[in-house]
Structure 1
Amino acid sequence: AASKTWSMTGWRIGWVVAPAAMRPYVNKCHQNLTTCANSFAQAGVVEAFANADNDVTAMVAEYKRRRDMVVKWLNDIKGFEAITPAGAFYAFPRISRLGMDGFKFCAWLLEEAGVSTVPGEVFGMPGHIRLAYCRSYDYIEEGMKRIKEAVEK
């Protein structure tokens, strides 16, 4: 949970909220899957709980701004169909109207536009691609511009 909310990727700290009746079972799983979280991660989560609400609010607003920009670009590219993602920082536009599966399209896009995407097939979404929008706004917008130019050729 901390990895997404407070950008503590790799710190491997989280928690479980469960009914009291589930605690013995959750505890058994926990004991068999983990050891103690390291001290710096514990201190970081304590600090995040105490002081990071404004940071999270700002981060969510920025991801929404990036998401809205990406969806606008995607829906302006002929052959793409995109819906607005409700969470995370990925878009999964349908590209099947372009006449390629996700694997072929992603390979072509990397060569043609220098933009890396992931075939939707690996996520059980054939005919789609996955785009991440977790880089800077300007960087993402440049990638979207390159995708549009390549597809329109």
Structure 2
Amino acid sequence: MAHKLLFEWDLHALSAAMGIPSQDVEAYFRDGRRVSFLLERRIRDSFPGWKLAPSEGAGFDLLDEAGGKWEVRSVSKNIYFCPSYMVGSGRKFAEEGFFTKLDAIGGYICSDITTFPKVPVYVIPSELIRRLYLAGKLGGTTAISRDRFYSVVVPELNALAAA
């Protein structure tokens, strides 16, 4: 499996097909809460044999051809690797739950939606996220900035791919 993909969309064709201005299309596709459903399907279709999770309430987004579970995340200003139930107002990070999540999934598929209509997609194994967390490179809650994603996670992923 490739560690990096590039999705490209035709902004003007989307705008025309949707009947809305291109700036509205950009706003929609750069909002992780909105575009995540489309990205999950685009990612699924990029890997033969992959399927969507059986429900939105599943603890993962995609199943690979061998039944492995994967989380889909968007890179915007920030990205987090802890379970979704640990993110938001009044919610707390719990290391044990984070490690349980890592043990249950093959990894994360992270799409940099800030660059839409060209969106780089990174396939990051759980083992790499665990190693970065234990080395203190993801901070205490696993929420890191986009800049840190590119200065820490992507170089480590590239080194892993080169090995």
TM-score w.r.t. structure 1 length?
A: 0.25
Structure with a larger share of its residues in strand: 2
Larger relative contact order, structure 1 or 2 (CA cutoff 8 Å, min sep 6): 2
Tell me which structure has the larger Cα radius of gyration.
1
TM-score w.r.t. structure 2 length?
A: 0.24
